Chains A and B, each alone.
Chain A
Amino acid sequence: MTRVVRPVFFVLVALSFLLAACGGTPATPVTVVETQVVEKVVTATPDASMPELPAGSVQINGAGATFPLPVYTEWTYAYSYVDPAVVINYQGIGSGGGKKAIVDGTVDFAGSDSLLKDEEYTSGKDLQMYPMLAGAVVVIYNFTPAKEYPADFKAPKLILDRQTLVDIYNAKVTKWNDPAIVALNPDLADYLPAETITAVHRSDGSGTTEIFTKALTAFSADWTAGGASSIEWPVDKAGNGVGGKGNAGVAASVINTPNSLGYVELSYAVSNNLAFADLINKAGQKVTANADSVASAMNDFSGAFSDKLTATIVDGEGAGSYPIVGYTYIILHTTSMTDCVKAEKLLQFLQWALTDPSATSRAGALGYSVLPDAVREQVFAKFGEVTCNGAPVLK
């Protein structure tokens, strides 16, 4: 048998090499950024007083949350054209892993969607969090209409209010034609089926879940399961809940399960053209999740930062604020960095990411919201407090 297998195997290997060689040529999608970036080297031009460093000589390592990973990946790639001396690696290992790594000092910066605990501040001593981006979480849904839509009828978007969303995930509202849902969607009243709602949630621990459950906690005192990256879902206990792995798993479950709803990141829903529900916010206004409504939520809470620069920004008061929003953070050591060149390069990169038009527009295109000016000023002020061997890193 081997006499036949071996030649065939070699042919296959040779073929795969050929294929790989052909596949190597097409440009990666990121090249678009490259051209934009090269024109705009304005904000973070390396300090003229500093000697020119050889390309790739400063290695900066980061790890943590996967939620902002797509943006960080594009930023670090684009930044290699802004400052060739700097190579930044960011590994999406999860917020928990990122926080552990920065406390242990095995990375230069960490990304995290959840906040550090007091004990981590104690053991990490000089840790500081900085909001980098905000993301919204949206409710996607899939119900089979109780009767066929007329030919000229364009089904409007589903509308939910805060209490109804809590009730659905508490398994108190269990049917699509529940009076609470019907009252919010008069145009859909005839079409909402008398079927059980399957509520889909993330099965993996995730910042998305943390934002969503924190919002539910803020929406109503009825939500007692708490807000965290993974929780015990009341709807699971009632037998109407299903967990999907990752945004893709939740979306697939919702698409494949008739009469279900679930939550995913706005960026994921946008890039996959998923229909998502509008929400009635605290001010009683109907809002769609988009860059404006997320920015409005950030502005609502721009004065609410703790001295660690953290804030929960769910359920904002503003008329245009989308209620399920959260920050993703970068964590740095503020006084114990010893490699001053690296510290300076890292802060320059972060400043560039927050200000450079191509960086911010890229984040926007991926469905994330960049910080409004009021918040960004506070972040920059905190950057100014970072010291290396006792001297401020940014002059």
Chain B
Amino acid sequence: MWVVENGIEMTKQISIPPERHWFSRLQRITRHGDSPWQAIIIVMAVLVMVLMLAIGWMLWRESADARAAFGWGFLTPSLDTSWDPVNDKFEAWPFIYGTLLTALTAIVLAIPISLGVAIFMSELCPDWLRMPLNWLVELLAAIPSVVYGLWGIFVFLPLVVTPVGGALFETLGKVPMLNVLFTGPIPPSGASRLGAAFILTIMIIPTITAVTRDVLLSIPSSQREAALALGATQWETIWQVLLPYGLSGILGAVILGLGRALGETMAVTMVIGNSIEGSPSLLRPGYTMASVIANEFAEAVTKLHTQALIEIGLVLFFMTLLLNMVARLLVWRVARRTPQEARA
């Protein structure tokens, strides 16, 4: 083609015919696939955002009349609320309260259990047990929630929740301050917020356990060896080195679990009793936001009823979003703080 006689003249001599010019440019773009690849990835990322916005926008738009009709009173905490499709009078507090109470109780119960299982599996477990245990935890996560619900109704509620609830009523129900949460009596069938919280606990344990175990396993052995070499016991190594090191990951696991607990519908609907009675107690039947939508949406015939249910969906949507943001913030702060503390 063109000959370079001396290095200085080189740029001057380059001349490509125009038709060849665009083709080679295209070739250059597609040769390594970088640009198309990037474009596809961006589309995917944008898709998630668009989906999120679309869902939020739909919930907002479809609940317009309900929001106009009830205003903030829809969300006001109160023990005497009504959810009356016959007279079109709707207040969501019992559902919000039920969702928060059951999900938070479940998280509180699940964290120590899952951490224990995860620590056992990553640090203490004999090799022959590790694999079966691993499988069992993953199987637990794979059980459909309706099966949890059925098992809950027929086995778990009468055999476990009713006696435990009765015992809590006899003990914590007598303690001032705490007795608000433990006024009973628990219904003989066991259908109660406590039952829902227990079922949720069982359902989120595998999620938190699996992620926590992976986090612990990914901690470099040098950390363990260093702690042990300094004379720390195994317990001190786990508690003072490994857990702080993996804290942000573990918090992430807890957020995943909380997300599942907030949104879980079927199993909760089957065991919570679905009643909006005014008691704030864990031992009484309650209702959650996801349950009421699942229960009533298909047969909601008046416009306001449908809209009120969609507004509950909107509240749930924002609540999950908010909790996620708070949790993200927490992870971020913890992640910034850990290295110093882990070293200390």
Contact = CB atoms under 8 A, between A and B. Distances in A.
Partners in one complex: yes
Interface of A: 1, 4, 66, 93-97, 99, 114, 117, 198, 203-207, 225-233, 236-239, 241-245, 249, 252-253, 256-260
B93 to A, nearest CB: 14
Interface stretch (B31-39, B60-68, B278-286, B329-337): B278-286
B153 A256 contact: yes
B274 A243 contact: yes
Given A232-B83, A239-B284, A242-B285, A249 B270 contact: yes
B191 interface: yes
- Across chains A and B, which 7 residue pairs bring their CB atoms closest together, nearest first? A94-B298, A205-B299, A243-B274, A203-B274, A226-B86, A257-B189, A232-B84
Contacts of A114: 299, 301
A51 B77 CA distance: 67
Given A205-B296, A228-B86, A252 B154 contact: yes
Given A253-B191, A256-B157, A239 B277 contact: yes
Contacts of B294: 204
Interface of B: 82-87, 131, 153-154, 157-158, 187-191, 269-270, 273-279, 284-285, 287, 291, 294-302, 306
A206 B85 CA distance: 12
Contacts of B296: 204-205, 230
B131 A1 contact: yes
30 contacts: A94-B298, A94-B299, A117-B301, A198-B187, A204-B294, A205-B295, A205-B296, A225-B84, A226-B86, A227-B86, A230-B295, A230-B299, A230-B300, A232-B82, A232-B84, A232-B276, A236-B275, A236-B277, A242-B189, A242-B191, A242-B275, A242-B285, A243-B285, A245-B274, A245-B295, A256-B153, A256-B188, A257-B187, A258-B188, A259-B188
Contacts of A257: 187-189, 191
B86 A232 contact: yes
Contacts of B306: 96
A228 B274 contact: no
A225 B86 contact: yes
Contacts of A249: 153, 270
A256 B154 contact: yes
A229 B309 CA distance: 15
Contacts of B291: 203
Contacts of A205: 85, 295-300
Contacts of A230: 85, 295-296, 299-300
A253 B189 contact: yes
Given A231-B86, A242-B189, A245-B270, A237 B299 contact: no
A244 B274 contact: yes
Interface centre among B82, B86, B131 (most CB of A within 10 A): B86
Nearest to A244: B274
B295 A95 contact: no
Contacts of B269: 203, 245
B301 A96 contact: yes
Contact of A207 (B86, B131, B190, B299): B299
A117 B303 CA distance: 11
Contact of A4 (B84, B131, B157): B131
Nearest to B284: A239
B154 to A, nearest CB: 7
A243 B275 contact: yes
